[in-house]
Structure 1
Amino acid sequence: MALNLAEELSSIATNVAVSDWRQAVRYAGDGLVAGGVTTEDYTDQMIAAVEEHGPYIVIAPGVALAHARPSESVKKGGLSWVSLASPVEFGHKSNDPVSLVIGLAALDHTAHIEVLRAVAGILSNPATRSDLDAAASPEEVRSLLARAASPK
């Protein structure tokens, strides 16, 4: 599974106002559901994972990769994308506050690792990250991600 943003533009949301990390993760889960990637149960599993294990999903400054273990709630692998209007705290010592929440659903552990690599590669490019942070629409995010993920 390469970087596979869910097919529906409804899996991408920009400038979303949330009150806390739970609501941010819920938006990411809603994008996975809208894209036909997961059921609503998966969203609850993502929130429960953070409640149980802490803010381990905050993988880089300002970025959370919301996910749960592969389960029956995952219909197919895919991603959702939620950029926040105002950053929120997840409780991570060095990477808070978070302004981008990426929802990840994978069918197995191998696919999960492959997507992590692809996301890290895209977000580690400062110019690409800046462009993605400034993207004002789902169409713009999709275009930037497609360009960043394509072989040079």
Structure 2
Amino acid sequence: MLEDILTETLIDLNFSANNREEAMRRSGELLVENGFATTNYIEGMLKNVEENGTYIVIAPGIAMPHARPEEGALAAGISLVTLRKPVVFGHPKNDPVKIVMGLCATDQQTHLEALVSLVDVLSQEGKIEQFLAAEQAKDILTIIKGGNRK
């Protein structure tokens, strides 16, 4: 599923973020720019972390901000932002964050399918390091499809 919904225009490499809000906003902006969400969705992502904590930091160095579908989700989408410098999100074990993957889903089933697909890719040995070493968005897509970046 991930390779079906992640495109070059949803990827931003080596983004300079000073804090978690800037990192999360960028992941949301990519979703908005590509028609997957409204600007309200970005505010929902930020509100989610404020109200529910940093559970969105799903693994060491990886955050997956998201909001409820009714907060502006228009279609299923995932954005991927690698950070130039790691950012502290406030998670007790998985900080600092190096990769931010914004998730937008219109229903719970799509949300779960996207999460499973994402975890499958990220759990493969060496994938996170390859993502961080990627120089172009197309390199990320090659990595996801199982190839080595060029």
Q: TM-score of the superposition, structure 2-length normalised?
A: 0.92
Q: For residue 5 of structure 1, what is the aligned residue in structure 2?
A: 5
Gap regions ≥5 residues in structure 1 = none
Equivalences for 1:1-152 in 2 at 5 Å? 2-3=1-2, 4-7=4-7, 9-71=8-70, 73-147=72-146
CA–CA distance in 1 between the matches of 2:33 and 2:145? 20
CA–CA distance in structure 1, aligned partners of residues 111 and 54 of structure 2 = 18
Alignment root-mean-square deviation, CA = 1.4
Runs of 4+ in 1 over 6 A off after TM superposition: none
Partner deviation per Cα, 1:32-78 (whole Å, 9 max, x = no partner): 01221111110110001001111110000000001011116111101
Residue type matched to 1:92 in 2? H
Q: Give 1:126 shift.
A: 1.8
Which residue identity is paired with 1:102? Answer: M
Between the aligned partners of 1:61 and 1:6, the Cα distance in structure 2 is 22
Instruction: After TM superposition, give the deviation of residue 95 of structure 1 in Å.
Output: 0.2
Question: In terms of mean alpha carbon deviation, does 125-134 or 45-54 score higher?
Answer: 125-134
The one-letter amino acid paired with 2:5 is L
1:6 and 1:32 in contact (8 A); partners too: no
TM-score (normalizing by structure 1): 0.90
Give distance in 1, aligned partners of 2:115 and 2:71: 21
Q: Structure 1 residues 121-130 or 25-34, which shifts more?
A: 121-130
Q: State the distance in 2 between where 1:6 and 1:121 align.
A: 15
Cα deviation per residue 1:77-104 (whole Å; 9 max; x = unaligned)?
Answer: 0100000000001110000000000000
Which runs of no fewer than 5 residues in structure 2 stay unpaired?
A: none
Give 1:6 shift: 4.4
**How many corresponding residue pairs?**
146
What is the deviation of 1:145? Answer: 1.8
Structure 1 residues 12 and 83, CA gap change in structure 2 (3 angstroms): same
